[in-house]
Amino acid sequence: MAKDKKVTQITDMDVDFAQWFTDVVVKAGLIDYSSIKGLFILRPYGYAIWENIQAVLDKRFKETGHENVSMPVLIPESLLQKEKDHVEGFAPEVAWVTHGGSEELPERLCVRPTSETLFCEHWSHVLQSWRDLPMKYNQWCSVLRWEKTTRPFLRGREFLWQEGHTIHATEEEAREETLTMLNIYADFCENWLAMPVVRGQKTEKERFAGAEATYTVECMMHDGKALQSGTSHYFGDGFARAFDMTFTGKDNSLQYPFQTSWGVSTRIIGGLIMTHGDNSGLVLPPRIAPTQVVVIPVAAHKPGVTEKAEEIVDLLKKAGIRAKGDFSDNGTGWKFAEHEMRGIPLRIEIGPRDLENGVCVAACRYNGEKLTLNLNELEEKIPALLEEIQNGMYRKAKANLENNTRPCATLEEAKETMTAKGGFIKTMWCGDRACEDAMKEQVGVTSRCIPFAQEHLGDTCPVCGKKADKMVVWAVAY
């Protein structure tokens, strides 16, 4: 019976963070497992979060002159082989189609792990003149990468994403595009997801296969690990040359265009969970939450209580707030715990005594604070409270990033810091690949980026002791 229903408990994050994450994504109704390893079912609540992410980013892309397109899901092997560095980078993760029906195909077809080669082939057909440029495209799709170790959101074999691809007449314009899109991702993470970021450039070792430069936004999770939350790549004219993609310039000479690509995926939902979640489940920022406010009648059988709760829901909806009421016959305590699990930012409680006094109780999910609000002020107070929650969540995550990022001057200090405290460390770096490898082998961290916001932490590399003029952020990463 409904009155006997209980909210399933989740593992304490301080006991087993990985199990906590799995519990949350399954029990909050975001994900289910399919019969194929690494291919996850995105349930309605999980997909609703992705739809909100998609809506915001799609609007930003269109405001900056990008158009949506759709490319095929299959890539001929001969096409994939045209860009050597690119294909080598993806070769271990590629899934192949070898038969069409009962017949063996004359050429293997790759299920797209990314679509650079498809865009390049297309552009080689349609690009004619400098007047055609820039071409600024984006597609929303799924891709397939045959990962050995899989986890919901963080490392699926198939996942949803957007991939932007552009070509430009000049290097300057393409490089500007690369940074513009990175900043859109950074702004989105910080202002919509309440996830503070470190913006910077990847080292040569960590950059995208086939790119001349890769830029990233890195976020710190609750457990101190890093999540790469969006990347933007400058390709130069390497792909254009490989695919014989040319245009006639203003001086009538034949020229190669300069190319970019950039993307974010459903992986960012994993970042959202691990940045803000707690031992009660999800904690969602109001700007991205599918439901911003849930209204729960307390002692709903008493006269007027349910009717007033319905009025509040209608009032909030008319005010542009994503609100819903829980009028099920589940117990009030169960409802509270269930909606906390699902991370709804604000809960409104209304009972008989509240009704008599013309008030309701508002409970903030992220900090547990409860406020008494006058019913005649809800249209004004609720939007302001949601904005306060959004900003409070960002401040909390920012403090976590700042308090757990530590400078280190020597290799020993880096080892001791990571062993005792984890989080991010920042050091100077000489630029030598051997020293970068040594940080991974001896400290257990990878370079996350060379931040745009550089700090002078000293003059020498902590590994080799040679002169160093770059600061790098290092961390264990998902």
CATH number of the domain encompassing residue 330: 3.40.50.800
Are 365 and 383 found together in one domain?
yes
Give the tokens for residue 64.
């900056």
Per-residue model confidence (pLDDT) at position 92: 85
Domain boundary among 276, 310, 335: 276
Per-residue model confidence (pLDDT) at position 88: 78
256 is a domain residue: yes
Are 250 and 194 found together in one domain?
yes
4 is a domain residue: no
In 340-469, the DSSP E strands lie at 346-350, 359-364, 370-374, 405-407, 424-429, 446-451
- Domain containing residue 271: CATH number: 3.30.930.10
List, run by run, the mean pLDDT of 10-residue segments along the chain (478 residues).
Answer: 54 95 96 97 98 98 98 94 76 92 96 95 97 98 95 96 98 98 98 98 94 98 96 97 96 98 98 97 98 95 94 97 96 95 98 96 97 96 98 98 98 97 98 97 98 97 96 98
Per-residue model confidence (pLDDT) at position 89: 74
Distance of CA 67 to the CA centre of its chain: 21
CB–CB of 54/37 below 8 Å? no
- Domain containing residue 447: CATH number: 3.30.110.30
Planar angle of CA 346, 287, 186, nearest 5 degrees: 140
Are 25 and 153 found together in one domain?
yes
Are 366 and 383 found together in one domain?
yes
Domain boundary among 276, 311, 345: 276
Provide the whole-model pTM.
0.94
Structural domain of residue 177, as residue ranges? 17-72+88-93+123-276
List the beta bridge partners of residue 230. 217
Are 186 and 262 found together in one domain?
yes
Per-residue model confidence (pLDDT) at position 3: 41
CB–CB of 296/335 below 8 Å? yes
CA-based max dimension of the chain: 82
Are 254 and 312 found together in one domain?
no
Three-state DSSP at 35 gives coil
Are 336 and 387 found together in one domain?
yes
Domain boundary among 276, 307, 334: 276
Number of domains in the chain: 3
Quote the DSSP letter at residue 208: P
Are 335 and 389 found together in one domain?
yes
Q: How far apart are the first and last CA of the chain?
A: 42
Are 269 and 298 found together in one domain?
no
390 is a domain residue: yes
